[in-house]
Amino acid sequence: MGEAKPSIEGWGSGLLGVVIFSGSLPATRVAVADFSPLFLTSARAAIAALLGAALLLLLRQARPARRDLPSLAIVALGVVIGFPLLTALALRHITSAHSIVFIGLLPLATAIFGVLRGGERPKPLFWVFSCFGSASVVAFALSNGGSGSLAGDLLMIASIILCGLGYAEGAKLSRKLGGWQVISWALVLAAPLMLALTAATLPPSWQGIGGPAWLGLAYVSIFSMLVGFVFWYRGLALGGIASVGQLQLLQPFFGLALAGALLGEPVAWTMIAATGAVVLCVAFARRFA
């Protein structure tokens, strides 16, 4: 019971993080219509850093040890700078639907770095179900079309590698510092660079920026960059990097379901079938992680 409770709490927390992350790519796609990718990346990190710093000060959190700074730098490189910037650049070449192909590979990347950086050792059958789940997401995404380009695809591949590294490194550090503390300190560490970059890439005029772009910036700054990580890193730390990381397979379907509920977009039977296959893969991957 002692081991089962943290595992269940980890999966619940990780699932909530995935739901929050589900709106990230659509929000980024909307925001880069009016903001430059560099400004969007730096501004979202700067805003989240100010919020994270306020939390650290209000709750009087001790500074991380010097030996933790390299790990925090890796987290900052992966999820504060690398993934947001590379996906923002990629989404100028490809559609958010096409990007689902690559998001489907993120659980594998996270699991691999969980082995390399977190010292985890999943059973062989875990990799079978993890690969099958990733293949199901990729097949579903390709069946729904979405234009692609070589530049956009390469940028997405690089973003997935950096994101998987940042997830695994942050989860390992969360066991010592706590989930929200890790992302907050990583944001603070990157803040000087992000603030300078924000000032250097300010839009020449604010008049042509529409409401949707502002909403997209607000979402990725508050939820994608801070709130989602509070739950996600806690989930990975409690339930295991490789195991809970498989929940990311559900992220594309959450996003499409939200689009159907909020925007009235049709939900195809292929989505229901693919979701069922992915749920089974996640369940079996958890069993053998």
User: Which residue bears the tokens 């390299």?
Assistant: 70
Cβ atoms 112, 181 nearer than 8 A: no
- Res 131 pLDDT > 90: no
The proportion of the chain whose per-residue pLDDT surpasses 70, expressed as a percent, equals 81
Please state the pTM of the whole predicted model: 0.82
pLDDT tens per residue across span 142-165:
666 555 577 888 898 899 899 999
Question: How far is 283 from 264, CA to CA, in rounded Å?
Answer: 30
264: left (phi over 0), alpha (psi -120 to 50) or beta: left
Question: How far is 185 from 75, CA to CA, in rounded Å?
Answer: 10
pLDDT average, residue stretch 262-279: 63
Q: Which residue has the higher pLDDT, 132 or 183?
A: 183
Question: How far is 126 from 284, CA to CA, in rounded Å?
Answer: 7
Range of the domain at 255: 4-202+209-288
Question: How many domains are contained in the chain?
Answer: 1
pLDDT at 1: 45
pLDDT tens per residue across span 46-89:
999 999 999 999 999 989 999 999 999 999 999 999 998 898 88
